[in-house]
Amino acid sequence: MANHLSLFMIAKSYSTRLPSKNLQDFQGSPLYLYGLKKMLSLNLPIYFDSDSSEMCDQASKLSPLISTHIRDAHLLDTSTPSVPIFQSMYSYFHLSDERSSVLNVQANSPNIELRTLKKAANILKYSDTNELLSIYSYDRSNNGSLWGFSSCRLMNYGDPYVHLPDSFVIDDSIDIHTQRDLENSLLQTTNSKE
């Protein structure tokens, strides 16, 4: 039996290295909306979390598949790891089915290939994977563009800095943190369309 799969995206309105990185223009859309549009092609429920009501409003206007959540005040600190934010979203949206899984798509990884996104979604839907991570092809280090969980793993995660993936997908997309990353990501996306 297939697991119920939901897609997550979390996006802050502020950042330190590249100011307002999630609002930066990426081929005609703010970075986070570019990613959400790609996620919509999977035709799955999408849950979007942000500290910005404006970003939530824009996200919800894209599709009825997108539900939004304003980040809880106690999770706004820049040092907050992602896992407690995911747990807060999971509880807020009542996603407590024991056969459910969540796939987080990082807002600042816009050039992740659709086929990679679909592959990760299928692994979580059709296997007993507890935790999935995307890794780079050249050194197998954590890429971070995709991070998936079974409901049991997510809600009983423990130390949010200790990852225990039992599935991986290869992804060489660029995780945008600086202006140079943004420029390289735009170049990579342009070159992949040629």
Burial class (CB in 10 A: 0-12, 13-18, 19+), 5: buried
Measured CA to CA, the distance from residue 108 to residue 144 in angstroms comes to: 10
Q: Residue 192: its pLDDT value, please?
A: 72
Q: What is the pLDDT of residues 100-124, one digit of tens each?
A: 999 999 999 999 999 999 999 999 9
CATH number, position 37 = 3.90.550.10
Measured CA to CA, the distance from residue 146 to residue 102 in angstroms comes to: 10
Q: Which residues of the chain have pLDDT under 50?
A: none
Q: Residue 21: its pLDDT value, please?
A: 92
Domain span at residue 134 reads 4-193
What predicted TM-score, i.e. pTM, was given to this entire model?
0.94
The angle subtended at Cα 113 by Cα 107 and Cα 116, nearest 5°, is: 100
Q: Residue 190: its pLDDT value, please?
A: 79
For the chain, the domain total comes to 1
